[in-house]
Amino acid sequence: MTSEPSKGDNVYFNNPESGAEMARLIDQDRYITEGMGGLLAERSNDFSGIHRILDMACGPGGWALEIAYTHPEIEVVGFDISQAMIDYARARARVQGLDNASFRVMDMQKPLDFPDDSFDLVNGRFVLFIPTSFIPVFLKECMRITRPGGTIRLTESEWTAPSTSPAMEQMLGLIGRALKRVGQSFSPSGNLVGITPMLRSLLKDAGCTNVQHMAHVIDYSSGEPVHDAFCKDFATVYRLMQPFLIGVGVTTQEEVDRLQRQMEA
């Protein structure tokens, strides 16, 4: 793998070492897994035939640790660019006595430090925030480390959560334009991220066969069980993204402060 991203070594738009970001990801992991119907909903949570799993950009390790706990016969490996996230995941694995779970610091924008044909399942949730020009290179790396007959499992979102909040709609527009400006969006206008309609062709171009889609809709409307969790997540991520949005020149501190106040009112 010889190509490198053109936007620097770390294109993650929130500080990956932030305690607030870690707390957000811990909560998010739980309600996203529940909203999708379990750890491996597309297989009716059947892990038969799976012996070794990689969780890419694993954050604090929630998904990987839950699999390691419920399936002690499976070896689970996670990696993330954040030392703080990996330290947390390792500590949880140690406290829970999960000898089948291990975690490493690694940058997914560089060659993945695993031998060919290493894993039966390579998982990534919300990982394709890298420059669009680099995604084909990354997916070929995923193919390289996946065993013949194995699975590459990607969960992605369009970042266009429908809302009746004008402030939230404006904030989503700022995020879309910012991602477009730094080359992390397939959308011609920046109104969307554009990753979901591209996934099938990107995976096929990387050499994948039997590519399948499974759509999930999580209702976070007022009165729904996950409403408060989603609102908390949105408020946190928008606050953490302010330096990124201002830094790429799509907004000002005054504007994002105003939108944040309106969303949290």
Report CA-CA distances (Å) from 124 to 155, 236, 238, 255. 6, 22, 22, 33
**How far apart (Å, rounded) are the C-alpha atoms in residues 186 and 204?**
17
Highest-pLDDT range among 7-11, 40-44, 51-55, 153-157: 51-55
- Per-residue confidence band for 11, with pLDDT thresholds at 50, 70 and 90: low
How confident is the model at residue 227, as a pLDDT? Answer: 87
Which domains, ranges and CATH numbers included, belong to the chain? 19-264 (3.40.50.150)
Residue 65 has a CB neighbour count (10 Å cut-off) of 22
Sequence letter at residue 100: N
Upper half-sphere CA count for residue 224 (Cβ side, 13 Å):
13
Q: Global pTM?
A: 0.90
CA distance 197 to 95: 41
Q: 109 and 11 in contact (C-beta within 8 Å)?
A: yes
User: How would you classify the pairing of strands 119-125 and 75-80?
Assistant: unpaired
125-136 pLDDT tens trace: 999 888 999 999
As separate numbers, helices (DSSP H) first and strands (DSSP E) second, the chain gives 8, 5
